[in-house]
Structure 1
Amino acid sequence: MRSRKLDKVIVNKKQEDLFFFRKFLLIEPQGSNLDILSSYSTVTKFYMSLQDGYIENNEMKIKNCYALILAQAIIEKITSGNIKIKADNSFTEDFYISLAREILHLFHENDEELVVIYLKQMMHILRSAGIVQNNKRIATISCSLSREELFIKILKSFWNETEWKNIFPSSPELAERLFSTRSIFIDFLGEFFIPVDIGDFIRDFFEMTEIAERDDAFAISFVEFYLINWMNNFGIVDYESSLTISKVMLSEYGRKILALIK
Structure 2
Amino acid sequence: MLVKSYLNQADLLLKEYVSADLFVVYTSIILGIFACKTVYELSQLISPLYFKSYPNLSKGLQLEWSNRAMSTFHAMYIATVSLYFVLWSDLFKNDPQRGPITLRSSTVSISALGVSVGYFLSDLSMIIWRYPSLGGMEYVIHHLLSLGSVAYAMLTGEAQIYTYMVLISEATTPSINLRWYLDAAGMKRSKVYTINGVVIFLAWLVARILLFIYLFWHSYLYYNQAKQMHEIGVVMVHIVPLVLSAMNLFWFSKIFKGMVKTLKRD
**TM-score, with structure 1 as normaliser:** 0.29
| Higher Cα radius of gyration | 2
Q: Identify, as 1 or 2, the structure richer in strand.
A: 1
Name the structure, 1 or 2, with higher relative contact order (CA <8 Å, separation 6+). 1
